[in-house]
Structure 1
Amino acid sequence: MNARINTMLYGILSKEYDYYNKSYLLCTWNDGAYFYMVPYDLDSTWGLYWDGSKIMEDGSDPYFDFEGLIQDANRTSFISNNGQNRLFERIYKHFKSRVKKQWDYLRQNVWRNSDISGAFKKFISEIPQSAYEREQARWPTLPSKNITDYEQIQKFIIERGDKMDNYMDKYYFPETDPLEDIKNRLTKLEQK
């Protein structure tokens, strides 16, 4: 369950434009005993518009707008893009306490703003100049080359991370986890 929650949370945090319907792979090992999700097609993340032509500021896309959720906590288009992903919609509606618990764990351990932006900085520093030159030769009209860089990504990570923290802390009202509820009921029955 945490793998699916992580994928959902990463899609929301990174503002991955297609996370809810076509930008993940289901992988397995152990003869299919365990499945996990791997995000891919990450060209529309951290504010970059799908075609690379502009930066989408927070609030410019209603599907990723925290303010809309604050006004209507039952709205799920944010999670499922109006029903295109029933799995994420059901996780969001029925496992809120697990989602909140996982968000808190990730933000305290591996998804701090400084961790995410630091990973970008390290990755970018390891790309040789020749790779940039080959990329420009192959895609000379790539629109995003003049509008995105480490500073833009870092700014977006900080602003988006802080807004999502605020939403999760103040407006995400976790309900009882159905699995915990079942466990509690079974425990009570066993005690009788």
Structure 2
Amino acid sequence: MKNKNIPHWLIFTLVSLALLVIGCLLYTHQDRQLPQSASSNVDLDVVKLTGSLTDLKTHQKKVIKFRLKKANSKKKVKAYAKIRLQGQHSLKFPEKNYAVTLYSGPKCKHKLSVKLHPGWKKSSKYVLKANYTDATSVRNLVSADLWSDFVSSDSNHPKQLKSKNNYGAVQGFPVTVKINGNYHGLYTLTTAKGRKLWGMSKKDPSNIAIRSNGYNRNTLFYQSQARFDAKDWQALTPSKLSNKQQKSVNRFINFVSTSSVQQFKQNAHDYLNISILIDYYIFTNLTHNQDGAGRNMIYLTNDSQHWYPIAYDLDATWGLYENGKVLYPSAKQVQYNYPNGGNLRNGEGNRLLQLAAAAFPQEIQTRWHFLRKKIVTTDKINKKFKDAMLAIGENNYQDNFKANSSIPSKKITNLDQLTKSVKRQINENDQLFDNFTNNVHRIDFSYTAPLTK
């Protein structure tokens, strides 16, 4: 029996079809966030919001119904809530963050304090965070948890932070959000920043919190008097500062803006908590928290004299650029907007971080060596990311992408990218901090970041 030759056109057709199938499969999974082995579905808690949210304006509050249905449980939280848009840079994104304050009745006369997660303290204020730029939805909370490890591991850090849940860092868990019965996407429900989170007293005028709202000469400590407006400094606690409290702010800012490195080294202990300032400088470099050097930096004092920074809003970290569209460090957009490639060793032009690095290199080097043994290891940080993403589940990632197709980072970030970024950034920081007493002399501290428009 003779073998019949297979026609060339048939071979070509079969090969083309095979390549097409493979291509479709690759395309289907190129936005996959977890490995194929993590294929099981996860049921998340559901937050149901009922009310008109379509035309919510900045600073406007509306009264809605709030429901939290726990997954695989009959437990529910029922409340009314005053809801407003939350965030600054994120206000322009199609997915919005919401701050909610819970009340027991529709007239919102009495706040309702509830514990929404095991281990948390009761509160009436929470945040629904969309994590729009971060397709993994875990950078903010995992980085906050890492910051709490930094704070908890040093006895010289402020006692007020040590007395609070998660050491003054936000906590949260993933939820799906439905608005008026319609699926809206994957969110994280988090604790709210503010006085209670940081262990500050409303009755104590020496407890003050301020925030920088942009990269400019005022917020980067190149001017000796604080300007309080939408582009410069913002008072957080209290929302309006007394004359005495403003003097406390300006005492701090004037010292930083006028000190030489030597003056800063000699006198900084009278104005700052140096140990947590050092941790903040290391943490900012490690996580590559670009916004944390200028536009999104919070400073606290518990005695009106000694100030310290804390980490907050950490979604633009671990290689992800602030708009979620590109990755550090090679993207042209990064090189264009940050001529130094977004290198944070010079504090992105923040004079306080520059002075800390230049004045305390030995202390920074010693602290890094401690952190590398106890806290900053690839295994520990990668486990935090893996556990957080497994708790969300691939099914919820894909449902979110279907409902919100414009999420910019869904094809450039996932668990694998985070794992590689953790390894790369720890290695880069080893090169910087292992011998920082020598390396500090190679840093160009004259660099100033492009100013926020």
Q: Same fold (TM over 0.5)?
A: yes
Runs of 4 or more, structure 1, over 4 Å off, are 31-36, 58-61, 128-131
Which residue does 1:3 correspond to in 2?
A: 276
Instruction: Please state which structure has a larger fraction of its residues in strand.
Output: 2
List aligned pairs for 1:14-53, cutoff 5 A. Answer: 14-27=287-300, 36-53=308-325
Q: Structure 1, residues 110-154: CA drift from partner, whole Å, max 9, x if none? A: 111211111111111222567536643664201101110111011
1:32 shift after superposition = 5.6
Bigger RCO of structures 1 and 2 (CA < 8 A, at least 6 apart) = 1
Which residue does 1:57 correspond to in 2?
A: 329
Which residue does 1:80 correspond to in 2?
A: 347
1:9 shift after superposition = 0.9
Counterpart check, 1:124 vs 2:389: yes
Classify the secondary structure of the residue corresponding to 1:26.
strand
**1:150 equivalent among 415, 428, 442:** 415
Which residue does 2:434 correspond to in 1?
A: 169
Classify the secondary structure of the residue corresponding to 1:18.
helix
1:171, 1:102 → 2: CA distance? Answer: 11
Judge conservation of contact 1:64–1:78 (CA < 8 Å) in 2: no
Structure 2, unaligned runs of 5 or more? 1-273, 441-453
Q: How many residues align?
A: 161
Which residue does 2:355 correspond to in 1?
A: 90
| TM-aligned CA distance change 1:5 to 1:171, over 3 Å | closer
| TM-aligned CA distance change 1:49 to 1:174, over 3 Å | closer
Judge conservation of contact 2:364–2:433 (CA < 8 Å) in 1: no
2:284, 2:330 → 1: CA distance? Answer: 14
1:2, 1:44 → 2: CA distance? Answer: 24
1:32, 1:171 → 2: CA distance? Answer: 32
1:16 shift after superposition = 1.4
Structure 1, unaligned runs of 5 or more? 66-76, 176-192
1:91 shift after superposition = 0.5
1:35, 1:149 → 2: CA distance? Answer: 37
**Structure 1, 126-135 or 50-59: larger mean CA deviation:** 126-135
1:104 shift after superposition = 1.0
1:96 shift after superposition = 0.6
1:163, 1:171 → 2: CA distance? Answer: 12
Letter of the 1:93 partner, please give it. Answer: A
Which residue does 1:71 correspond to in 2?
A: none
1:86, 1:78 → 2: CA distance? Answer: 12
Instruction: Please state which structure has a larger fraction of its residues in helix.
Output: 1
Larger radius of gyration: 2
2:437, 2:381 → 1: CA distance? Answer: 23
| TM-aligned CA distance change 1:173 to 1:42, over 3 Å | same
Q: TM-score, normalised by structure 2?
A: 0.32
2:419, 2:316 → 1: CA distance? Answer: 15
Which residue does 1:73 correspond to in 2?
A: none
Q: Structure 1, residues 80-101: CA drift from partner, whole Å, max 9, x if none? A: 32x3x22111110101111111
2:402, 2:300 → 1: CA distance? Answer: 34
Classify the secondary structure of the residue corresponding to 1:145.
coil
Which residue does 2:169 correspond to in 1?
A: none
1:99, 1:134 → 2: CA distance? Answer: 44
- The percentage of counterpart residues that share the same residue type is 24
Q: Structure 1, residues 33-89: CA drift from partner, whole Å, max 9, x if none? A: 765433223222111111111222369652544xxxxxxxxxxx73232x3x22111
Classify the secondary structure of the residue corresponding to 2:352.
helix
- Aligned Cα RMSD in Å? 2.9
